[in-house]
Every structure is written in C-alpha cells, then in structure tokens.
Amino acid sequence: MFLTRVLVLLVARLAVVSGFGMVQPPIAASMAASRSATRGAATARAPSAVRMAMERTYIMIKPDGVQRGLVGEILQRFEKRGYQLKGLKLYTASEELLRQHYKDLVEKKFFPDLLSYMLSGPVCCMVWEGENAVKMGRQMLGATNPQESQPGTIRGDYSIVVGRNICHGSDSPENAEIEIGLWFDEDELCAWESHSKDWVYE
C-alpha cells in the first residue's frame, strides 16, 4: 500500500514536470476540495444586508427652542445625518389643535401648564423622511427628561428640565402619519428626490 502511494506521487510529479497537465496528488486534491467547500459554506452563511423601511416622522421644535434660536441647529443635525426634509413651517398653534395633538395627556394634572407653554409662541413643524426615521429621530432628540439624555443628543446638549425640553418627535410610524396629517395640509408637503441619496444609502 505504501509503495503504491509513493508510485502515484512520483507519476504525478513527473507529469507536471513533463508538461502533461497539472495533475494533483490525491492528498492535495482532497485538501483543495476541502478548502473550496469551506469557502462555499462561508459564503452561504454570510448574512445579507437588511434594509429598514423608508418612513416619515414628525419633529416639532417647541416655543422654547424657537425663542432660543435653535431651529437652524436642529435642522442641520437632521440634514447632516442624511434625512430628507419634506415639510417645514413656523406656526402658531391653536388650543384646539394642541388638545388634539396631546389628547392622551388632557386629563393629566400638568396639562394646563403644558398647554400654556405650547401657546406661548410659535413652533417649528418639520417632516423628515428616511430609513427608520421615527426610531432614529427619537434617539437624536434624547430622553423626554433632559437630565436623562446623553450628551450629543439635542435635549442632552440644549435643555435642562422636562418643562422646557425643546422638541417633540413621533413615537411610532403610525402616530407619525397621524401627526403629519394634523399639522400639515397635503399641499404643504414636497415630493422631491435628493441627489445625495446614493451617498447616504447603499
């Protein structure tokens, strides 16, 4: 058996040297096949990129943010992140509109103070569109309580107390669409394609 294997190896070596073709010895052939199978399995296991849904979110800068001149800074953060602006306006809200927007809070003890605060000046209404916009938008705003917000978030950088927490962001894609419909007429929203899209998304 040993002699047979030696002869096979010698014949294979002579065939290569003589130019009769690249004949692989059985052991080398087996190793090559194993490597090929391993590469194929690794390729098959490689996860494909998961694309999140493109969605819209409603972001509102409250009266304190407008009064403090933070509109441009907040706009810039969303633009630089890569989100696309679809609607923008400075607006003085009515009590009726605010009661609709905060309908889940109307019975809360603090609602009269919240209502007074939101009626104290104009707000800046924005619609942003992009991949996973609702979740990422809320991450950019930070926790509702500024003292629990991380540095680098909007509230973490620019506010101190809950009653002056600068901004509002939709908490789900479904509520985002409701809020957009509440604060914007359809003809106030712009449908346009950004030339930077291919530089933001794969």
What is the reported pLDDT for 4? 52
Among 137, 1, 127, which residue's Cα sits nearest to residue 56?
Answer: 127
pLDDT, tens only, 129-183: 999 999 999 999 999 999 999 999 999 999 999 999 999 999 999 999 999 999 9
Place 53 in a pLDDT band, splitting at 50, 70 and 90. confident
Residues known to be catalytic: 168
State how far the Cα of 102 lies from the Cα of 115, in Å rounded to an integer: 9
Looking at per-residue pLDDT, the higher value among 41 and 162 belongs to 162
The pair phi, psi for residue 169, each rounded to 5°, is -135, 140
What is the reported pLDDT for 70? 98
Looking at per-residue pLDDT, the higher value among 9 and 118 belongs to 118
Residue found under tokens 């010698």: 10
pLDDT, tens only, 57-72: 999 999 999 999 999 9
Helix (H, G, I), strand (E, B) or coil at 11: helix
Give the predicted TM-score (pTM) of the model: 0.75
Furthest C-alpha separation in the chain: 98
pLDDT, tens only, 85-119: 999 999 999 999 999 999 999 999 999 999 999 99
Q: Record the tokens describing residue 87, joined without a space.
A: 């609607």
What is the reported pLDDT for 182? 98
Looking at per-residue pLDDT, the higher value among 170 and 32 belongs to 170
Q: How many other C-beta atoms are found inside a 10 Å radius of the C-beta of residue 162?
A: 15
Looking at per-residue pLDDT, the higher value among 164 and 1 belongs to 164
pLDDT at 46 over 60: no
